[in-house]
Every structure is written in structure tokens, then in C-alpha cells.
Structure 1
């Protein structure tokens, strides 16, 4: 069986070190899309509404996502969205036991969604492989924590202080401004000693962006991927999908999968998703259509008789 040839329409950005070892797993992001599951140990997360706030529920959700094909699990203890302050101690107490339990059970890539340097430090020492910073490394202490570790980082675009409202965000060109922000924050990380091979990027769908901004980011995702770092699309069940389709949180899966596929075609290489099983199948199908992988089997019209 010959290797498939990537389709001419496939967006295959020139990546800095496309083959990445993150934790115990290796990815070839020139031909591969990884699915990152979302596990929130918070009572007020926008989608799960606290269903995985309990420790046992959070660990069970992570292990179920791994069984469904997630290559990464993103564990969060404090949302970015506006709300009451959560102490560093409380956030550590939420995420570290989940990290320890998942690490004991699996070699999956463990990511921690935090903007607190102390939480990042504790998480890395508990076994986390990635820090997913929704503030884009705006805290210099976070940069220092990463520079003094071997962990990778997801640098995400946002404008607001965490847990603070940010009314009516304005952009003259949302994609260009997001790309410029990410470029500047990448330079900060590199200057501090975080190697390029440890950096991933995320344009931050819906983070201080309205629905039209997030749709444009999805449509022009190639401009983010062209920065040269594996790009993450966090489109799952977000408000831009709900507003586009007039669907509440429980009815956004199909729209999320459509947005994810468009992002892949335009260069996304990690999908951060709630509905892991469907997302994995959408990613594998899109990889095959783009010529990145072979079908699992070939039988239809391959023999002397039609099947």
C-alpha cells in the first residue's frame, strides 16, 4: 500500500520542528492532528457546569477521554471567564490530585490550564507535560517557571485580566492582531530560554472576541498556523458556535466538529474538545481526506466482486 499524497488543498504550514516529543508521546504535526480532552475541576465552567468538579468524577472523565482516543488531557482548576477569585492553594488542590491519578494510569500528555505560576510549578512537579496559559505568558514569573523546566507551553491570545470582564472587544484586523500578539509572546519565551520545540500556540477563540471575530479566526486560521508553531484550535461548544447556529450549550457538538475540521484544513494540529470520541473520528477522517494517513481498511471495490 503506497503512502497517500497530501491533497493540494491541504494546509501544511512550515513548522518549526514538526516532530515533537511531549512528555512520553511523540507527534508528527506535519501529518497528524492530536485531540486534547477537557477536564475542568471547577463548579462554574461554561460547558460542564461542575459535573467533573469532584475528584473521582474528574479522574474518571480523563480516563474515559483517553479510552475514546484523546492523546492529551487538559486539566483546569480556575476558569479564565469572569467570576470570583480562586486562591492559588485552592487551584493546586483541585488540579494536582487529578494529575497524579492520571499520570499513574496513563502516558497521555497532561496539560494544565492555568495562568498562575505557582500552580504551573506544582503541576509540572506532579507530572504535567504542558502548561496552557490563557493569558499568553503575561506574568513574567510564569515564563521563569517554564524556562526552568522541561514542560511545553500553549501560548494563548487574550486581552483581559483573568476572571475580569472585558466589554465590547474591538479589533481593526483580529487575525493580524492576534498573530502579532502571539509573535511577541513567543519572542519573550524564547528570550527567557524556552526552546522553540516546546512552544504551541492558540488564537483564543471567544477569549475577548465576539462571534464575528471567532468566525474570522476560524476562516483565516492558516495565518496563525503560518507562524510556524503547532497551532491549537479551542472551538469546542463555544458561544460563537451557539450564536451562529442558535444552539444552547448542549446542542453545539455538530457545529464544533465543523469548526474543528475547517481549522484542521487551515493548519490546526491540536483540537481542544469536550466530545472526544466524535472529535477523534472527525480528526482521523480529515487526516485521511488530506492524505495524511491511510484508511483503517480497504475493501470496498478492491476485489473481483463489488462489496
Structure 2
């Protein structure tokens, strides 16, 4: 199992590490930290040295309660970051966006794939993703970022998330997105309570049975704060533990803030396991 973009290939013989690079002033964990060029360049270098497999560039916060931004503002945030990464490395780059114009500009600037929390549901996103012919991650989210954590409800969260993802896969395929370009994300923390998130995590083998690479992002999220009682800045150890557990379930990629620590943990696990 692997992703391809042109002549580029990212295999999943082992769990890959996606590093978060938010260029927003209001993201829940690192908002405002990498909006200056010098800090941005330093963070890119840190992730590359740590052994990151994919850098995920986001210009619109999707934290609970987040407000949308204009296309021009999102472009002004993500394009310089993508160009800065590409100047340093040929590492895989994903763009965290739901906006068709941003998708197109990001790929033109050097991005390899699209990470869409709205699973290509915005007008024009499906046709844009298909025309760009790049991998895309389809995520489940109940509601919208501004309101998604206001008492989310499910009859059966695992069945409903699985069903939604399967439906979006079918819609994407019919729109022309290639099967080998599809990655799925259950969307931990996106319209889910603590109990919903726990149920989904325990059901990772069931979600993997959908037959597509799975991306898991729980890094520093509220579910880990609920378990540890610690604030966002002190959830690094919990985040690494969760990423390691996801890898042990067979997940193909983990999306993390603490790249260095996660890469070390995965390398130790692989060495001692084998």
C-alpha cells in the first residue's frame, strides 16, 4: 500500500509521521508560533532533522469555535510555507484545506496531497481534487468547527463514522478521484465527545477494514487532556503514547505536533518488536 504523486511514492510498510505546521494565529495548540518567516524556517528544519515523513501545512484553524477565513488570507499563509519547505527538501507536503482555490495553488507551489477535514464537501472541491490528480485525505466531522463540540450525538459512533467515510469514498470515486489516492481519517475531536473518541480509537481495526490507509490525529487534543488532566502544552507524552498505540493497531500515518519524540518512540518500538 502506497501513495503516489507523479513519480513520487510514499509507502506504508511502516507507520508514517505527519508533522503539523500551522501558519494560523489561532490554532488550538501552536497558533501564532510559526507566522514569522524565521520561526517557520526553524520549525521546518527541526521536523526534517527529526525524520518527518509528511509536513501538513494549514492556514485555516479548525479548532472548536474557529471562525472561517477568506481565500486570500488562507493563501497568504500556506503558499509561503509550502515554498519554504520545498526550498529545503523534497519531503512530502500536504495542504490542510477545504477550499478548491487553495488546493490548486498549493499543489502548484509544491504540495503533494490534500488533507480535507470536510472530505471534499465544499462546492468545487471534488472536481478540483480529481483534476489535480493528487492523493487526498477524507475526514469525518460532525457539524462545522464553530459549533461541532456543542453536544455531539451519535446512535453508534463507529458505525456512523465508518458509513460516512465509505459514502464519501464512493462519491469521490464517482467524481474521478483515484482509489489509490484516498486516505481516511475518523476525525478525532471533530464533533465527538470523549466517549465517542475512545470508541473510535478502540475500533481502529474496524476502520482499517474499509481498505484504505488510515490517518490518526489525536496529538494534544482534549481527549488526552481528559485522560491526563493536563493543559495543551503538557500533553506531549500522552500524544506520543497515543500515536504509538495507533501504530500498534496498524494505522498507516499519525499526525503529530511532537515529531522528534514520536519518531523516536516508533523507532524504538520497531527495533525491539522485531
Normalised by the length of structure 1, the TM-score is 0.84
Contact 1:24 1:109 in 2 (8 A): no
What are structure 2's unaligned runs of at least 5 residues? none
Q: 1:181 aligns with which of 164, 170, 178?
A: 164
Whole-Å separation in 2 of the counterparts to 1:245 and 1:28: 34
Q: Does 1:96 align with 2:84?
A: no
Secondary structure class of the residue paired with 1:268: coil
Secondary structure class of the residue paired with 1:124: helix
Q: 2:135 aligns with which of 145, 152, 165?
A: 152
Q: 1:37 aligns with which of 13, 19, 22?
A: 19
Q: Does 1:76 align with 2:58?
A: yes
2:109 is matched with 126
Contact 1:33 1:287 in 2 (8 A): no
1:141 is matched with 124
Contact 2:21 2:55 in 1 (8 A): yes
| Alpha carbons of structure 1 residues 189 and 289: separation in structure 2 relative to 1, 3 Å | farther
Q: Number of residue pairs matched?
A: 273
| Alpha carbons of structure 1 residues 249 and 189: separation in structure 2 relative to 1, 3 Å | same
Which stretch shows the higher mean deviation, 210-219 or 34-43? 210-219
The ranges of structure 1 where at least 4 consecutive aligned residues each deviate by more than 4 angstroms after the TM superposition are 22-25
Q: How does 1:192-231 map to 2 (within 5 A)?
A: 192-231=175-214
Higher helix share: 2
Whole-Å separation in 1 of the counterparts to 2:150 and 2:250: 30
State the 1:55 CA deviation.
3.1
Secondary structure class of the residue paired with 1:161: coil
Whole-Å separation in 2 of the counterparts to 1:22 and 1:277: 26
Contact 1:147 1:194 in 2 (8 A): yes
Q: 1:49 aligns with which of 20, 25, 31?
A: 31
Whole-Å separation in 1 of the counterparts to 2:233 and 2:149: 25
| Alpha carbons of structure 1 residues 169 and 54: separation in structure 2 relative to 1, 3 Å | same
**Greater radius of gyration (CA):** 1
State the 1:232 CA deviation.
0.6
What are structure 1's unaligned runs of at least 5 residues? 1-17, 292-307
Which stretch shows the higher mean deviation, 127-136 or 80-89? 80-89
Q: Does 1:246 align with 2:239?
A: no
State the 1:32 CA deviation.
1.0
State the 1:165 CA deviation.
4.6
1:299 is matched with none
Whole-Å separation in 1 of the counterparts to 2:67 and 2:186: 25
CA deviation digits over 1:130-149, x for unaligned, max 9?
Answer: 11100111124111111101
Q: 2:250 aligns with which of 261, 264, 267?
A: 267
Contact 1:38 1:74 in 2 (8 A): yes
Normalised by the length of structure 2, the TM-score is 0.94
1:300 is matched with none
Secondary structure class of the residue paired with 1:48: coil
CA RMSD of aligned residues (A): 1.6
CA deviation digits over 1:69-119, x for unaligned, max 9?
Answer: 101000110011323331100000110011111112111010111111111
